[in-house]
Structure 1
Amino acid sequence: MRQFYMGVPRELFEAARVDGCSYWGLFWRIAFPLTIPSAIIVFLFEFQASWNNFTGSLIYLNFGSTENYTVPLGINYAMAKYSPTNGGHGDYQYVMVTALVVTLPMLLLFAFGQKYFIKGLSAGGVKG
């Protein structure tokens, strides 16, 4: 986000300042609307990182009940439960359905935010 804010042309702020815009107005009327695509990109990346966080939840929730597990821990628990080496029957179809259901929110977020996703990535990669 910092790099995106640093890339906003200074002339926009100077012109608004000459027109009598306050510092809050500079942010709210100029900088914020320009940074919406990058803010959506940051939100998508952070949501994906926390959605798929296995290690953090493994550290904090390992000894709790299985009802309080996060999605990655639940899939790992199901893999261990249905594994033939642990006495299961090898019913991996339940794990695959769970993995599909877990992937759907990320696919929906990308589908609805695709315009901002592409705009934010291309704006961050433009040099000049």
Structure 2
Amino acid sequence: MSPGRLFSWIALALLGVVFIYPFVWLVSASFKPRSDVFDNRLIPETFTFDNYIQVWQEAPLALWLANTAIVTVLAAVTVTFSSAMVAWGFAYFRFRGRGVLFGFVLATMMLPGAVTMIPTFLIWNALGQVGTLTPLWAGNLFGSAFYIFLLRQFFLGLPRDLFDAARVDGATQWGVFWRIALPLCRPALAVTLVFEVQAVWTDLMRALIYLRDSATFTVPRGLKSLVDAFGFGGEWHWEIIVTASVITTVPMIIVFFLAQRQIIDGVASTGLKG
């Protein structure tokens, strides 16, 4: 093995340790009694499974996970499909002002979330949806500028002659999009889906703004309530907080483990398009 390759392996190993250490510490702390949570031992001196029993008793964790799963699925599916439709329109159709309109779409990414936070809240409040899960996912029905850009780049790399041939054979515009374009961009769709799943699963800001009742809390909002109750200003039961954090992190680890090949293929193929 060459020195350069050996150095690369060592550097990657060190970076891997740096990134994985916080989660390893979190898992270790979840098996410790209250007095040992912050002792910084990766192997607990005293193992206990009581934290994993107590956390289900102290908080409606199953309900929070169910609420988050519902919001995540709805948000990920809607934004993937709506963004793909808009991206297909910008990639396939030729019309005057297409470039300018696409520029306006990209310009929306430059707006900080705080700029639209209040107007968006007023809209949902006028619709009577504050306090429900709807504001956490329904906005995705209109697509996302980042995902539109990502999918458009992929669509531009597909051979246009294939779509023209389908049109000559009698396929409708919708048929070309649904039966040909979408199946060909599965890697990019998988990247969009997984990215949005991660974004929604960890979204605390919108949950803080729109959710009022603990029965509608999502995982991030629920963890925030646990920190308030058992952490700072509370009873200092940090073992409950770290245990709940481990339980709510595991689904994301599973998602990325199952979708890692699709993510790599999607990012690589999208980067080569256009």
TM-score by shorter chain over 0.5: yes
Contact 2:157 2:273 in 1 (8 A): no
User: Does 2:210 correspond to 1:38?
Assistant: no
Could you tell me which residue of structure 1 aligns to residue 259 of structure 2? 113
Q: Which residue, out of 159, 163, 168, partners 1:9? A: 159
Comparing 110-119 and 8-17, the one that deviates more: 8-17
Q: Quick one: which amino acid aligns to residue 191 of structure 2? A: I
**1:60 equivalent in alignment to 2:210:** yes
Report the residue type matching 1:75 in the other structure. L
Partner of 2:137: none
Q: What SS does the corresponding residue of 1:112 show, helix, strand or coil?
A: helix
Per-residue deviation at 1:65? Answer: 2.9
Identity %: 37
CA gap of 1:12–1:40, structure 2 versus 1, over 3 A, is same
Q: 1:30 to 1:74 in 2, by over 3 A?
A: same
5+ residue gaps, structure 2, are: 1-150
Residues 127 and 42 of structure 1: CA distance in aligned 2, closer, same or farther (over 3 Å): closer
Corresponding residue for 1:79? Answer: 227
In the other structure, the counterpart of 2:40 is: none
> Distance in 2 between the 1:97 and 1:126 partners?
42
Q: In structure 1, the residue corresponding to 2:257 is in which secondary structure?
A: helix
Deviations 1:63-95 (A, max 9, x none): x23232211111111112112x5241x221111
Give SS of 1:49's match: helix
Give the secondary-structure state (helix, strand or coil) at the position aligned to 2:203.
coil
SS of the counterpart of 1:53?
A: coil
Amino acid at match of 2:258: F
For 1:114, give the aligned amino acid. Q
* Distance in 1, Cα, partners of 2:216 & 2:165: 54
Cα distance in 2 for partners of 1:26, 1:77 equals 48
Secondary structure in 1 aligned to 2:176? helix
Match of 1:125 in 2: 271
Q: Which residue of 2 aligns with 1:22?
A: 171
Q: TM-score, normalised by structure 1?
A: 0.81
Give, as a single letter, the amino acid of the residue that structure 2 aligns with 1:124.
T
Q: In structure 2, what is the Cα distance between the partners aligned to 1:54 and 1:30?
A: 37
Following the alignment from structure 2 to structure 1, what is the Cα–Cα distance between the partners of residues 244 and 203?
16
Query: What are structure 1's unaligned runs of at least 5 residues?
Result: none
Figure out how many residues of one structure are paired with residues of the other and give that number: 123
What's the counterpart of residue 69 of structure 1? 217
| Structure 1 residue runs of 4 or more that deviate by more than 2 Å after TM superposition | 11-18, 23-30, 64-68
